[in-house]
Amino acid sequence: MRYRSIDLLRAYAIAVMVMVHFLENLSGTRDWSPDGFGAPIFAFLSGVSYHLWLASRQQRGCSADRISRETMRRGLFLIGLGFVFNALVWLPEDLFTWDVLTFLGSSMLVLNVARRMPAPALLLTIVLSVLLSPVMQKLADYGAWWLNGYFETEQTLSELLTGFLVTGYFPIFPWIALPLAGFMSAPALLNPQGTGSKAGKYWLLTCLSLTVLVALVLTLRWTTAWGRLWLPAWTMFPASLTYMSAALGIVVLLLAGLHNRIDQRQAWRIPEWLMSRAQRFSRFSLSIYLLHHVVHLWPLWLYGLWQTGEPAAYWGQALSWWPAFFLSMLFLLICDRLLQRVEQHRVPTIENLLRWLCE
């Protein structure tokens, strides 16, 4: 079963990622872009989607062993795809940057274990992964890995492990909290049995608590001297305690609100032209993620190699912000038309390959 609320959020997340990457890689600007909102939504929804996929497999009578094997294959496929992507789209020295794809693949392996855990243990894992991360970042000397504004590592076993766990672009700590939270909260968020029932009251209490948490964290951070001292700044690299708590609260509230207004009560009528495109972008989000990197990075590398002999010579400084923004919007428009053709002619995509290999 597809939820329109999930399709809208995932489409928003992938569109934001496209815009942010074009702006960062072509113009080097992050001043006004919606940086930091796409990735938490995408990671959280991966846990929600896993819950829905797991429920559908169980309804079909799939054994626990088969579900485990399929989950493991999905995770390993995404990890392998992440390494191939880094090698072919980025530069060879960026093979072990621990980006989104390797993180999502790793999170699938973790979710395969998490689905067997009792709720209190899973909740404790989520909380600890967030609270312990600042300590781990301090012990690992996070800033030393980001001296030039991007992640760099020597390819030794100890440094690879540190990057995977703590200092990479999307390390396990604290990012694993988002897919785990999505998986754990999906039943309450997507299946509240009315506001008068016990589940409905739990759902309402959760949303209200998260609203208070987000408001409290941001208010204390911005209005008090001790808040600025004890609550770290909103930073994505590293993912600070302020960032993770606020991002988690915001994405839960977004999904709960959209699901309630769009899927359940149908109080908000989304125009069909918008909804059809959101569903298309949601279905092909992995293809869009791969394609948009190829479209704007390969020309950048080739031009730099041609002009200077150094592929990354123009990285972050090829254009000013407005041509980069225009190109991101143009890509999304062309991509929509291309995906329409893909649907009409049933052209195989990376999503089809994932299902064929892993199910």
Distance CA 175, CA 166 (A): 9
Alpha carbon distances (Å) from 309 to 125, 160, 164, 302, 306: 48, 29, 31, 9, 6
CA angle 13, 128, 114 (to 5 degrees): 70
Q: Are 292 and 25 in contact (CB under 8 A)?
A: no
**For position 265, what pLDDT does the model report?**
80
Distance CA 217, CA 245 (A): 8
Nearest Cα residue to 285 out of 90, 7, 81, 48: 7
Tell me what the mean pLDDT of segment 27-55 comes to. Answer: 86
- Name the token pair of 113: 């274990």
- Name the token pair of 30: 């992050």
Tell me what the mean pLDDT of segment 234-242 comes to. Answer: 86
Lowest mean pLDDT among 142-151, 194-203, 299-308: 194-203
Q: How many domains are there within the chain? A: 1
pLDDT band at 207 (very low <50, low <70, confident <90, very high): low
**For position 204, what pLDDT does the model report?**
57
pLDDT band at 247 (very low <50, low <70, confident <90, very high): confident
Alpha carbon distances (Å) from 257 to 245, 252, 329: 18, 8, 27
pLDDT band at 196 (very low <50, low <70, confident <90, very high): very low
Secondary structure tally for the chain: helices H, strands E: 16, 0
Q: What is the pLDDT of residues 154-177, one digit of tens each?
A: 878 899 999 999 999 999 999 999
Q: What is the pLDDT of residues 20-36, one digit of tens each?
A: 999 999 998 876 555 67
What average pLDDT does the structure give for the chain?
88
- Name the token pair of 183: 């998986």
Q: Is the pLDDT at 19 greater than 80, yes or no?
A: yes
Q: How many residues make up the chain in this entry?
A: 359
Buried b (16+ CB within 10 A) or exposed e, 260-292: bebbeeeeeebeeeebebbbbbbbbbbbbbbbb
The pTM (predicted TM-score) of the whole model is 0.91
pLDDT band at 210 (very low <50, low <70, confident <90, very high): low
Q: How many CB atoms are closer than 10 A to CB 204?
A: 14
Helix (H, G, I), strand (E, B) or coil at 192: coil
**For position 243, what pLDDT does the model report?**
87
198 or 41, higher pLDDT:
41
Q: What is the pLDDT of residues 70-104, one digit of tens each?
A: 999 999 999 999 999 999 998 778 889 999 999 99
Q: Where are the alpha helices (DSSP H) in 23-63?
A: 38-59
CA angle 240, 246, 251 (to 5 degrees): 125
Q: Are 23 and 328 in contact (CB under 8 A)?
A: yes
**326 lies in which domain range?**
4-358
State what percent of residues in the chain have pLDDT above 90: 66
> Which residue bears the tokens 């893909």?
342
Distance CA 228, CA 25 (A): 31
pLDDT band at 63 (very low <50, low <70, confident <90, very high): very high
- In the chain, where do the E strands start and end? none
Helix (H, G, I), strand (E, B) or coil at 118: coil
Q: How many CB atoms are closer than 10 A to CB 324?
A: 22
Distance CA 177, CA 190 (A): 19
Distance CA 278, CA 214 (A): 27
Amino acid, res. 256: A
Distance CA 156, CA 150 (A): 18
Q: What is the pLDDT of residues 137-147, one digit of tens each?
A: 999 999 999 98
